[in-house]
Amino acid sequence: MSLDWIYYAISWILLTWHSAWDAIGVPVDAVIGTNFAWILAIVFLVVTVRVILFPIFVKQIKSQRAMQALQPKVKELQEKHKGDRETLQKEMMELYRKEKANPLMGCLPMFLQIPVFLGLFHVLRRLDPAKQAKTLYGWSVEQFDSASSAKLFTAPIAGKFGSTADELARLNANGTTVKIIAGVLVLVMMGTTYLTSRQMILKTGWAEDPQQRMIQRLMLYGIPLSLLISGAIFPIGVIIYWVTNNLFTLGQQQWVLRKYPPPATATSKATSGARNPVQPAKTGALFGRKPAPQPPAKATTPKVAAPKPGAKPVNPKKGRPAKRRG
């Protein structure tokens, strides 16, 4: 299957934003060793994609809430079919189908961004002055030459940590500078990738379902660590895209999680109840402390009100029935 349509779409968005910044007056030439018109074109490629995917992102949050609400039932199934994984999987799939919950919905926005990432990776990797087909994917020769010479702090956006000496020579770049800029960006990319996953897990909690928990651990630790190796082959422009995307995700998740806060589901109650069995309530307890023992109350005789001043003395024998004599 040809991915040319993706390359054309990514190129069109990049060139449109670059033309927009050029029209506004953003300098095309390097300022502080940076061609800001091209850097901003990559940044706003992220904005464009994220705005398009925003409704799906909201569906992702709602799906996660639905999965949380189902955790008590999932736990019941796990207890019921303990040791029978095949039956457990069938019952859980039936539960998800019946409740219209999709466990894979949480990864959908990330999967939908993979073609964009691959498209940008391919387009920027082509920014080699030695290329003959400069007008591929709707580029003009002038735009191609401008992008291939675009830099971030004197490091070309088409350069990468693992660029060969020949590639650096064609890009007119300093190898040490490219490695420093690319290395710093890779570390920032790893850190922001970890923070986006951590932010979501802290807000929604760890899943009870082993498969969901495994996906959460993979996103939290596996993906950031894999970037330490794969980041060496990413062009600097692609790393700028990834870091910007992560920062956008952090802000968007914070807004959505405030608007759709995680409900106090029965899952947390069930979990806390299993770990800390509920004890009978104790009167007077404060933060779980036992009340201090009270001394036994002494029997008190009823107090007789004193006669008012000027009142006639009352004869206690008056009014009592006379005793009969034997």
Angle between helices 4-24 and 141-148 (to 10 degrees): 80
Place of tokens 């802000």: 251
Q: What is the pLDDT along the chain (326 residues), one digit of tens a residue?
A: 578 999 999 999 999 999 999 999 988 777 889 999 999 999 999 999 999 988 887 777 777 777 777 778 888 887 887 877 788 888 888 887 777 677 666 667 778 888 999 999 999 999 988 888 899 999 999 999 999 999 999 999 999 999 999 999 999 999 999 999 999 999 999 999 999 888 878 776 777 667 778 888 888 898 899 998 888 999 999 999 999 999 998 998 888 778 777 666 433 443 443 344 434 334 344 334 444 455 555 555 555 555 555 555 555 555 455 555 54
pLDDT (0 to 100) of residue 277 = 40
pLDDT (0 to 100) of residue 294 = 53
Q: Which residues pair with 289 in a beta bridge?
A: 286
Q: Where are the domains of the chain?
A: 3-265
The pLDDT tens digits for 178-206 are 999 999 999 999 999 999 888 878 776 77
Name the H helices within the chain: 4-24, 36-69, 71-80, 85-99, 108-125, 141-148, 165-170, 175-204, 210-217, 223-230, 236-259, 266-275
Round to whole Å and give the CA distance between 200 and 202.
6
Longest pairwise C-alpha distance within the chain: 142
* pTM over cut 0.75: no
